[in-house]
Amino acid sequence: MSPATATRSGARSPRTTEAIKRARPSSSFATLREGEFKSSSREEREAEKGEEEVMATTHPDIPGEPTHTGTALLETANAAIQTFGPLNKIHQHLCAFHFYAHDMTRQVEAHHYCGHQNEEMRQCLIYDGPGADARLIGLEYIVSESLFLALPDEEKPLWHSHEYEVKGGYLFMPGTPGPIERQDLGKVCKTYGKTIHFWQVDRGDSLPLGLPQIMMALTRDGQLKEDLAQDVEKRFGVSFRKERENRAYMKGLEHGIHPLANAAGKGLETQLREVECKPAESVPRVFV
Amino acid sequence: MLDTGAGMLQSLKPVKQINQHVCTFAHYAHDPGRQIETHHFVARLNQDFLQCAVYDTDSASGRLIGVEYIVSDKIFESLPPDEQKLWHSHAYEIKSGLWVNPRIPEIVGKPELENLAKTYGKFWCTWQIDRGDKLPLGAPALMMSPQGVNLGRVRPDLVQKRDDRYNISTDALRASRLEIEEPEWINPQADYWKQHGKGFAIDINQTEMKKITPFP
């Protein structure tokens, strides 16, 4: 496995290796076909040790041609030269479950790739899987309890608590031994998150259509669908029940779950509104 | 050091696919007067599709301000008109020299710019740092791209600041990109504000949540 912080100098960074693999001609051009996801190219890409397959119905191929070799080589050559400051901060992979803030029955396995802005705040890119072809479906911000309490009251409902999903054993760090995982999860237990998804892969969208969606997290027993839970447990070799026991010692939020968090117990949905715009030539000319 | 122990053991594969840094500009779809410099960190999923994590700088302290998806004109034309309204074109932004790959010599980057000039993007901003937000507040905002009409041009002081930092000249890049082909046609549903005089805002409304158990 490659180290978390890849170096950017040198002829053959992990990115170069990845891109050359991906530039192989592949048969991946397909529109959504329900229940069918196994093309030979996907099998090749996922042949590596520890790589897991994803549930068939949540992984249709994205329309488009396979990447041209010339494009891939150019992009990877460039990657060796440029500065990727914020990405170098991403040091952690968390797997958890989100559901739509207007519909608890639509649940998504969410792979978070997180970096610390500071001790009290993290920012995470959310993908629909842990593999090289994973789709960027959203993002999440994670803040300490004190930062959350300082948010305006009208903002608080957009955030969700993490206490239940951490203590319940549902949020985990793939590939990380329990004792190490628990060191950090003990902190995550006391945080709040704001999650927005842009790509509704659970309804089979092969492109990121529609409006951004506010997402919520598990808050009590009985919410997480059994088949989804078992599928994730199997693919990552974890047991939520066992983790729950291991995490019984963890302390939750100092001040308990704030009543305005978790959508203040309601549902939330996003809506598009047209607004009047100045006519395109109405402002004085500037020269760029 | 925060969590280096765990970091050593995980592969972070999806993030490793990000192999391009683009610095460009955008404005809010609901308020074109508010313009920002953006740093896109781009991964390609196939020849017609790219996904970008967008930050406010390229330094380690960069704040994650949103996500942009980029598609070929072929994919864009397959979208329903109501979806197309949420997207913007890239031709002007690239030809005008605003879109740059910092530290990459122009001659190296130019072949791909011809392809990218024909693409469309959909950019959601989740942290409005230009209005001073210390944390990501409120609903996500739709963003639009610079365009060749007065309201779409980027303020010279923003461009100068960017140019000074990377020791480049947007004007010089524009001259050298004259030879990049204009797309034959840009779909009129894209850059909706330009021809329709309408912007878009996102509201978050309370509603009944469909549930399996009581919530929370």
Sign of the CA dihedral running A8, B71, B84, B96: positive
A288 min Cα distance to partner chain B (Å): 6
Instruction: Name the residue among B189, B140, B62 with its Cα closest to residue A198.
Output: B140
Question: What residues of chain A lie within 8 A of the CB of B59, using their CB?
Answer: 83, 85-86
A205 burial level (CB within 10 Å; 0-12, 13-18, 19+): middle
Asked if B20's CB is within 8 angstroms of A78's CB, the reply is yes
| Cα–Cα distance for residue pair B154/B152, rounded to 1 Å | 7
- Summarised one tens digit per residue, pLDDT across range A95-104 is 999 999 999 9
Q: Do residue A212 and residue B199 have CB atoms under 8 angstroms apart?
A: no
Nearest to A224 by CA among A54, A109, A101: A109
Name the E strands within chain A. 90-100, 103-118, 121-127, 136-144, 160-161, 191-197, 213-217, 267-276
Do residue B45 and residue A62 have CB atoms under 8 angstroms apart? yes
CB B121 within 8 A of CB B70: yes
pLDDT of amino acid A82: 87
Whether B213 has its CB under 8 Å from any CB of chain A: the answer is: yes
Q: Note the pLDDT tens digit of each residue in A76-119.
A: 777 778 889 999 999 999 999 999 999 999 999 999 999 999 99
Answer whether B156 sits within 8 Å of A288, measured CB to CB: yes
Is A275 within 8 Å of B198 when comparing Cβ atoms? yes
- How many whole angstroms from its chain centre is CA A224? 17
pTM reported for the whole predicted model: 0.86
Interface A–B counts its CB contacts (< 8 A) at 368
State the Cα–Cα distance between residues B99 and B92, nearest whole angstrom: 9
pLDDT of residue A283: 65
Say whether residue B32 is in contact with chain A using an 8 A CB cutoff.
Answer: yes
| Residue A68 pLDDT level (bands cut at 50, 70, 90) | confident
| Contact flag A86-B16 (C-beta cutoff 8 Å) | no
Q: Which residue does chain A place closest to B122, by CA atoms?
A: A208
- Measured between CB atoms, which of B30, B156, B202 is closest to A286? B156
Contact residues on chain B for A84, CB-CB shorter than 8 A: 18, 21, 41, 58
Residue A26 confidence (pLDDT) above 50: no
Task: Note whether B81 contacts A: Cβ–Cβ < 8 A.
Answer: no
> A201-257: per-residue pLDDT in tens?
999 999 999 999 999 999 999 999 999 999 999 999 999 999 999 999 999 999 999
State the nearest Cα–Cα gap between B78 and chain A, in angstroms.
10
Q: How many CA atoms lie within 13 A of B135 on its CB side?
A: 25
Least confident of A19-28, A124-133, A192-201, B93-102: A19-28
Q: Is the pLDDT of residue A41 over 90?
A: no
Residue-level pLDDT at A2: 38
Percentage above 90 pLDDT, chain A: 67
**CB contacts, 8 Å: A88 with chain B:** 60
